Structure 1
Amino acid sequence: MADITVEKYHFPDDGITPNNRLPVIVYRQVTDAEDTSAWLEERFKANGWTNNWRDIVLPYDHFHSTTHEVLGVGKGSVELQIGGQKGIIVNVSKGDALILPAGVGHASVSDHKNYEMVGGYPDGKDWDLLTGTAEERKHALPRIKNLPLPTKDPIFGEESEMLRLWK
């Protein structure tokens, strides 16, 4: 693996986006593989993060209450807003990966679509797509709170920064 740096971000509930007590983890340059999308997908699958897809991140703020999510940049680069409308903008590039706890808002804010994101979910869980309406939040908050923690990091498996921080 390449020389990896780790970033972590905490976001409080802002009244619309619940976010999570667990931090968002950003791994920079987890691979320099030529076919980065394939490498990411295989790594996610090997560590039990399945139900994979390759596409872009939706251009509006949304979150999932039924599962955590990993996003890996397979091609290009993109600016993502994480943590909801009161969150931050993070620029991610080919070879970077983000692990988003359930409830954390995320959206693409770049004007371009010349990137490819690879996504996955622990144990292949199905995801919901929520935007933070009052009715959604009423049901989402208990689901997020009671969601089990993953047993493996999507990149590093059983020994990782994510497993140390997500307790």
Structure 2
Amino acid sequence: MTPIDRRQFATGFVASLATTKNSASANESPQTATPEQLHLKPNGWMPNSPWPVLLYRNALPSTGDLASAMERIFTTNGWPPQWRNGVYPFHHYHSTAHEVLGFAVGHADLVLGGEGGEPLSVHSGDVLVLPTGTGHCRISASDDFLVIGAYPENEHWDICRTAPSPETLASMRKVRFPHSDPLTGSSGALPKLWI
């Protein structure tokens, strides 16, 4: 996995989408609108979240330029992409943003919720929505594994690898509620399930 400057990618990418915000075609529509829900409790130093992780299996067809299709759909639904890369091979969480991971190419085995947490295999076409504080880590991946990382508008991610301080926990509770599902918009599953 070649590292990239994710913030530099975001600046150029968001600018390039300005004219294509509503250009997702009919064949890019999500195939499933009902996600699996994974409820994770605090685990060791990993805070996790009272909101469920949402897993959309086979959300989009694994044909054509799936990465670009995911980027268009996420942008249209208020979750502009900030990077293309993979998933870090260490346990971490984000305290400043919710995150959607669109699996565009390949497959991987992940663990959610911290050490000893929930094992999860993901494949091209799957989409995973992680509420703030959710632990995640890549265990293994195919050589071509490619992920689209996106966040609600005006949210910027951080990387946390230790237990949150009381101040960080207080800050996490103030992260803005996303009023739109990254796949299906404001009428989608997320606003109904994250209550």
TM-score, length of structure 1 as denominator length: 0.92
Q: 2:56 aligns with which of 27, 37, 40?
A: 27
1:91 match? 121
In structure 2, distance between residues paired with 1:10 and 1:72: 20
Percent identity of the aligned residues? 34
Per the alignment, residue 133 of structure 2 pairs with 103
- Look up the match of 2:193: 165
The gaps in structure 2 that reach 5 residues or longer are 1-28
Indicate yes or no: 2:87 matched with 1:57.
yes
Deviations 1:84-123 (A, max 9, x none): 1132111111110000000000011105442100000001
Matched, 1:115 2:145: yes
RMSD: 1.5
SS in 2 for 1:26: strand
d(CA) in 1 for partners of 2:133, 2:100: 13
**Whose RCO is larger (CA < 8 A, sep 6+)?**
1
1:144 CA displacement: 1.5
Residues 114-165 of structure 1: per-residue CA shift (max 9 Å, x gap): 21000000014111100124xx433321122222210111110011221111
Q: Structure 1 residue 3: deviation in Å?
A: 4.1
**What secondary structure does 1:16 align onto?**
coil
Task: Count how many residue pairs are aligned between Structure 1 and Structure 2.
Answer: 165
- Between the aligned partners of 1:113 and 1:142, the Cα distance in structure 2 is 39
Greater CA radius of gyration, 1 or 2?
Answer: 2
Match of 2:69 in 1: 39
Please, which runs of 5 or more residues in structure 1 have no aligned partner? none
Which residue identity is paired with 2:88? Answer: L
Instruction: Rate the CA distance shift 1:164–1:2 in 2: closer, same or farther, 3 A.
Output: closer
Counterpart mapping for 1:128-147 below 5 A: 128-133=158-163, 136-147=164-175
